[in-house]
Chains A and B, each alone.
Chain A
Amino acid sequence: MKVTQALNTLPRLTYRWLKLNNYHLPERVHFPIKPYRRLYMPPSPDRDLIFKAMDRGEIPEYSLSNPDFGVSQELVSLGKEFFNAGFQLEVPPGKRICQPVYIQYKFTEEDNTVIDYNLIKAGKNSTITILIEYWQDDQARVYHNGVTQVLAEEGAEVTVIKVQRLAAQAVHFDSQLVTAGPSAAVNYRQVELGSRYALTNYLGLLAEKSKAEVDVVYLGDGRRVLDLSYQMVHQGYRSKSNILVRGALRDLSRKVFRGTLDFKKGAAHSAGREEEAVILLDPTVKADAIPLLLSEEDDVQGDHAASAGKVHPEHLFYLMSRGLSEQEAAKTIVEASFQPILRKIPIVREKIEKEIERRLVCGEGKTKISPRSIPHP
């Protein structure tokens, strides 16, 4: 399938000449539609759970009627209609599963396409943690288009962790729809380390007293493009959202962060926060941020903070005075900024940290010390 539509379109458009209202792939991408045989699903952690590979014949009704969401409508329909992998997980009311359920999508030269459709439903007052990893250990060009729907019923607590470690030529699209029922809590954690094009989209619908959290770490190097979109729609009163994004960019990488807090009428006493901090490691990077704050309700608290800049020279100097090289010092500072989020990642955390370290020290292009880092008189 040819990817034709504009991707990650903003919920509110702005000046056209910036060309940031959405993302258009700079090259023609034909998304192959073919089978995939390598889904690794662990045994079900509890026999009361429904946990099975997604079956085209038995798609549950709750997944059908949905608002528009995702990287593009086209890609969401591709995921829902032509999926070649995916799982369905249902936790019955009151059930608490402590052990994370770890699902892996491994890509290889042969199995280079994953179109996964995942449904997660947590019954009343249940608890579940799911870790989904997309990875490969070769350099083949691979294609990923995922659609994940999370439905947390009243009082449920769901944690979804997604880790993407695809190689430098990969095309990666990922669309999430999170519906947090009354008093439910949904945590979404995302680690974006790979792919040539990484486009992800998150839409959270928050009912009264619900809570949605998003924690993101990304690393861009080489010529990677990251376009990450998050939208929190506060529909019910006393709902809470928090988006925390930490990233680092080097070489010729570019990133667009799109974060929207949307307080609908009726969302009184709600609070939303978004914070994005990016560390820029080379003069050749490009970092854009579009943080929208929309409100129809006066009794809300919406906060947004974004910052971007180099590694602080004083911090660098301090670490270098302790014997670290400039690169090691920069690496240490980036890692420190990622820590609050990485700390919350189970099982694969060490793998991620190693990967980050490798990429920051060796990388795909060597970080040059530009003459400009010499302080201006």
Chain B
Amino acid sequence: MKGRKTYVADIERELYDQRNPFAYSYKTEKGLTPEIVEEISAQKDEPQWMLDFRLKSLEIYHQLDLPPWGPDLTDLDIANIVTYVKPEVDLKYTWDDIPEDIKRTFDLLGIPKAEHEFLAGVGAQYDSEVVYHSIQKNAAKRGVVYLDMESAVRQYEDLIREYFMSLVPPHDHKFAALHGAVWSGGSFVYVPAGVHLEIPLQSYFRLNAPGAGQFEHTLIIVEPGSNLHFIEGCSAPRYSVNNLHAGCVELFVREGSTLRYSTIENWSRNMYNLNTKRALVEKNGAIEWVSGSFGSKVSMLYPMSVLRGERARADFLGITFAGSGQTLDTGAKVVHAAPYTSSNINSKSISKGGGTAIYRGLIKITKDAHHAKSTVSCESLMLDNESVADTVPVLEIGTDDVDIGHEAKIGRISEESIFYLMSRGIDEDEARAMIVRGFVEPISKELPLEYAVEMNNLVKLELEGTIG
């Protein structure tokens, strides 16, 4: 048995790598100038305040430096990224109206089928613009708003103006500023008080253009006593040039409401995924993050939950799978800013084939957050010694009456567990497969069905007896 290693197959990328010819009705020049920002704004026919906001963000962008911590970003040259690519189609409300090649892409990804079967609403973004948006009549009747961001800026101008980038201000970091300057697309969701939406809404983001950036903005407001499950999926075909994704997600979870935000991120291996996600949770509210990071060349993604009201709660379940050439720096941040708040973080990572998986997190308990409770568990599974697994957590505790536990583990599949299973009559290959499946199970069972299947494919095990 000695010297045998479990070989976990890479995720099947063929499906995502179907690229369409690069067609567009409008795209900006590469790089970043006030003129480009003005052009984007003009293309969208935006109100003046939004243009001013973009230009201000651009200024901030130029003032900020790259973070001195985390993965190396020097290879990412913004001057070579096309920030805005408008596909050759306007926003449609039925799949039939969408041009054949774009529709085929989403068909292959299973989006229309999923909509038909178990979603209350679907948004699909292709490059910089949302090409499809729909919501079930039933949900719309109950006052749920699910719109592409551009339409929302026009139809709910006051609301958007109040909330847009209030939680993630442009001066937060360089890529938040970039987002503020060139954002395009994304979804706006508004759930009125007391509405329990039983079936999820889903937005899918597809970046087809080479050397481009995607900067969608997602803004969700869940009013008191409501319930929403939002699913976000992302993918892109592979190109030899770097692509950039710097989206922004702002979630407002009001008193007593619950929001589950599930993400399966499967960008191609030339993508810099520098996404910012943040939730503000009021009294008795709950945010539940379910996050799978599989793709991209470099990811920096740390969903943050700010527990502002008493007894607010944050849950984070994350899995990261870093293969060859990938540096996935992910984790969760929770700020306990009120008494009796609680958080539970469960992060798992697998690294193989020279991949780097990093858990980077934060638990911050402010001095007023007495009776705060937090449990953090990080587990890293390494499948070979070419790979790297790091854990970089911070616990910042500002008062005494708290209950904080943190655990982290690094290791490989233990020979003892294999031996145990084999002693029960299970053959070695199956034993290894069972252990890896067991490792990811707590997360895969929380994923929506289609994604659970996707993840199970990912951890499809193949064994090789010779590598050692």
Contacts and interface: CB of A to CB of B under 8 A. Distances in A.
B394 A15 contact: yes
Interface in A264-318: 265, 268, 280-310
A23 to B, nearest CB: 14
Nearest to B409: A303
A299 B412 contact: yes
B394 A18 contact: yes
B397 interface: yes
A280 B402 contact: yes
A16 interface: yes
Nearest to B333: A15
B406 A304 contact: yes
8 contacts: A12-B69, A13-B68, A280-B400, A284-B367, A286-B396, A300-B411, A304-B391, A309-B403
B400 A283 contact: yes
A308 B407 contact: no
A286 B400 CA distance: 8
Interface stretch (B190-198, B255-263, B377-385): B377-385
Given A290-B395, A376-B340, A14 B401 contact: no
B401 A12 contact: no
Contact of A298 (B384, B397, B399): B384
A344 interface: no
A28 interface: no
B338 interface: no
Contact of B395 (A249, A296, A308): A308
A20 interface: yes
B79 interface: no
Nearest to B373: A309
A298 B387 contact: yes
A302 B411 CA distance: 7
B370 interface: yes
Nearest to B367: A283
Interface of B: 67-70, 333, 340, 360, 362, 364, 367, 370-371, 378, 380, 382-385, 387-412
B362 A301 contact: no
A297 B392 CA distance: 17
Contacts of A15: 69, 333, 360, 362, 394
Given A307-B406, A309-B401, 7 more contacts: A21-B69, A284-B399, A296-B388, A298-B382, A299-B385, A301-B409, A376-B371
Interface centre among B400, B404, B410 (most CB of A within 10 A): B400
B401 A283 contact: yes
A310 B401 contact: yes
A47 interface: no
Interface centre among B68, B364, B382 (most CB of A within 10 A): B382
Given A14-B392, A18-B362, A289 B411 contact: no
A287 B408 contact: no
A338 interface: no
Contacts of B362: 15, 18
A289 B395 contact: yes
A322 interface: no
B396 A14 contact: no
A263 interface: yes
Contacts of A307: 404-406
A192 B403 CA distance: 24
A16 B68 contact: yes
A290 B394 contact: yes
Nearest to B410: A302
Contacts of A310: 400-402
A2 interface: no
Interface size class of A (residues with CB under 8 A): 35 or more
Contacts of A295: 380, 382, 388-390, 410
A295 B382 CA distance: 9
A20 B396 contact: yes
Contacts of B333: 15
Contacts of A289: 394-395, 397, 406
Contacts of B394: 14-15, 18, 20, 288-290
A309 B362 CA distance: 17
Given A18-B362, A280-B397, A283-B401, A292 B391 contact: yes
A372 interface: yes
Nearest to B407: A305
Contact of B406 (A13, A291, A373): A291
B326 to A, nearest CB: 16
A268 B382 CA distance: 12
Query: Closest 4 CB pairs between A and B?
Result: A280-B400, A13-B69, A298-B382, A302-B410
A289 B374 CA distance: 14
Contacts of B340: 376
A235 to B, nearest CB: 14
Contacts of B407: 303-305
Contacts of A16: 67-69
Contacts of B399: 280, 283-285
A92 B384 CA distance: 42
B396 A18 contact: yes
Contacts of B370: 283, 372
B298 to A, nearest CB: 16
A204 B68 CA distance: 26
B400 A302 contact: no
Interface string A345-366: 0000000000000000000000
A126 B367 CA distance: 50
Nearest to A249: B400
A346 B461 CA distance: 55
A303 B400 contact: no
B52 to A, nearest CB: 26
Nearest to A258: B394
A287 B364 CA distance: 10
Contact of B397 (A14, A292, A308): A308
B300 to A, nearest CB: 11
A347 B360 CA distance: 43
A300 to B, nearest CB: 7
A6 to B, nearest CB: 12
A294 B395 CA distance: 17
Given A280-B400, A283-B370, A295-B380, A304 B69 contact: no
